[in-house]
Amino acid sequence: MKLNKTQIHDINQKDLKSHESDFNYLSDKLTNKGLDVNSIVSKLKDFQVAIPSWALGAGGTRFGRFSFYGEPSSLEQKIDDIGVIHALTQTAGAVSLHIPWDIPSDYNAIKEKADALNIKFDAVNSNTFQDQKGAQETYKYGSLSNTSKAVREQAIQHNLDVINIGNKLGSKALTVWLADGSCFPGQNNFQTAFQNTQDSLIDIYKGLPDDWKMLVEYKPYEPNFYSTVIQDWGASLMLANGCGDKAYTLVDLGHHLPNSNIEQIVSILQLKGKLGGFHFNDSKYGDDDLTVGSIKPYALFLIFNELVYGMENNPQNPDLAWMIDASHNVKDPLEDLIQSLEAIQEAYAKALLINQADLKAAQLHHDVVKCQEILQDAYRTDVRALLQQARLDAGGALSPINAYRNLNVRNELITERGKNTVATGL
Ligand SMILES: [Mn+2]
């Protein structure tokens, strides 16, 4: 299924008048505060977030999996689905592939399809957290950290293969997330596991093309419940530093212990020029992979405040790889991704409203109340008209969810693909 601009344009007509009045009202208000509304709208238009190839089907848990029907059963169909999301939101102009779940069978055909839908290939993700069909060695007791050299070599080779696949598609980054760790005290020697991981990452790094980045993702627990080899940003940063300039830390919102100050983490990593990528989701308890902004929207805004500050003040930090890393059981996955994209844009837009000069002045005068007023004034502003304007300018939908429903996308997909298709992934 492919949406065209005319369909979206027609649906927009109904809400155009009320949008214009909302936008003009907000635009006047912000302009009076000294903000450049055009520049904010243009930044929102430029902000693109990669959709992971595994989020387009219903996510399962270890207790079950409930399909939403019409799921994509091939990489081609996954790209089609991202094309639908991108046509509506104009924010999802990239895909992040998971290997081996999504190895292209015809590289040129996939590239042409993505090109036609305006979708780029963002970071490629390796998978050494489950055994692959026909593999010689098992990752049951770890991959890059394993005490067995043969296992480590197999895992290193897999990552090199992933780089090779990504290279053929135009990707420029490899994301490494390891499930490696231990479930019980005494099971692993922490130092051996860490050193093996460092040595393995260095071997992978040697195979990285010059214009590529390696993104090292961390996570405190799960699937291992006593220790994880790359458990936090400190471990990730040490490993990245041990590899070289092209290796960076990747922050995933859900990969923190409760109440971690994630905004402080991203801030300091940008200061050190070592924040490489960011995975969006939301969580109540752990790595819940819930829709972005559904549980802690204020925390997301505070993170964006630091990201915006970093993007403007830290030239030593490269452009970030943005990706949604969420997937679950109870929503139409495409609607869920649309909601996530909206929440990301909303937090970004609010952060762009913060007057950084005023905030700095209030900080210098130790005016704590004023500091909070500045942040919360931005947070309490309803910025949805800015998001709508950015989408409208780019040919997207004023309300992507309404348009998705009015165009009957899910029913069309079920008619096209049937009820029994299953997307590859977890
Ligand atoms: Mn992630």
Q: What is the pLDDT of residues 329-356, one digit of tens each?
A: 899 999 999 999 999 999 999 999 999 9
Q: Is 73 exposed, middle or buried (0-12, 13-18, 19+ CB in 10 A)?
A: middle
286 C-alpha to center of ligand 1: Å? Answer: 13
Q: Are 162 and 210 in contact (CB under 8 A)?
A: no
111 C-alpha to center of ligand 1: Å? Answer: 24
- Could you give the percent of the chain with pLDDT greater than 90? 93
Q: Which pLDDT value is given to residue 426? A: 58
User: Residue 146 corresponds to which tokens in the numbers above?
Assistant: 């394993």
221 C-alpha to center of ligand 1: Å? Answer: 13
Residue 425: CB atoms within 10 A of its CB come to 20
Please state the rounded mean pLDDT for residues 85-111.
Answer: 96
323 C-alpha to center of ligand 1: Å? Answer: 8
Q: Which pLDDT value is given to residue 315? A: 98
355 C-alpha to center of ligand 1: Å? Answer: 31
Please state the rounded mean pLDDT for residues 203-227.
Answer: 98
Has residue 52 got a pLDDT over 70? yes
254 C-alpha to center of ligand 1: Å? Answer: 8
280 C-alpha to center of ligand 1: Å? Answer: 8
Q: What is the pLDDT of residues 119-159, one digit of tens each?
A: 999 999 999 999 999 999 999 999 999 999 999 999 999 99
Q: Which pLDDT value is given to residue 26? A: 98
Cα 390 from chain centre: 20
Q: What is the pLDDT of residues 25-48, one digit of tens each?
A: 999 999 999 999 999 999 999 999
Q: What is the pLDDT of residues 396-426, one digit of tens each?
A: 999 999 999 999 999 999 999 998 887 766 5
Amino acid at 228: T
Q: Which pLDDT value is given to residue 368? A: 98
353 C-alpha to center of ligand 1: Å? Answer: 28
252 C-alpha to center of ligand 1: Å? Answer: 5
Q: What is the pLDDT of residues 277-286, one digit of tens each?
A: 999 999 999 9
Q: Is 1 exposed, middle or buried (0-12, 13-18, 19+ CB in 10 A)?
A: middle
133 C-alpha to center of ligand 1: Å? Answer: 24
373 C-alpha to center of ligand 1: Å? Answer: 33
Alpha-carbon distance 43 to 186, whole Å? 50
Q: What sections of 177-261 are H helices per DSSP? A: 190-206, 233-243
Has residue 68 got a pLDDT over 90? no
Residue 66 banded pLDDT, cuts 50, 70, 90: confident
Q: Are 374 and 411 in contact (CB under 8 A)?
A: no
pTM: 0.97
Domains and CATH numbers, the chain: 47-353+408-417 (3.20.20.150)
Alpha-carbon distance 407 to 6, whole Å? 12
Round the average pLDDT of the chain to a whole number and report it: 96
Question: Using the 8-state DSSP alphabet, how is residue 144 labeled?
Answer: T
281 C-alpha to center of ligand 1: Å? Answer: 9
Among residues 252, 265, 250, 253, which one has the least CA distance to residue 216?
A: 250
- Could you give the percent of the chain with pLDDT greater than 70? 99
77 C-alpha to center of ligand 1: Å? Answer: 23
Q: Which pLDDT value is given to residue 59? A: 75
Alpha-carbon distance 228 to 127, whole Å? 16
51 C-alpha to center of ligand 1: Å? Answer: 12
Q: Residues with beta carbon < 5 A to ion ligand 1?
A: 252, 279, 325
Q: Which pLDDT value is given to residue 1? A: 85
Q: What is the pLDDT of residues 303-313, one digit of tens each?
A: 999 999 999 99
Q: Which pLDDT value is given to residue 425? A: 65
Has residue 328 got a pLDDT over 80? no
Which residues partner with 94 through β-bridges?
A: 50, 120
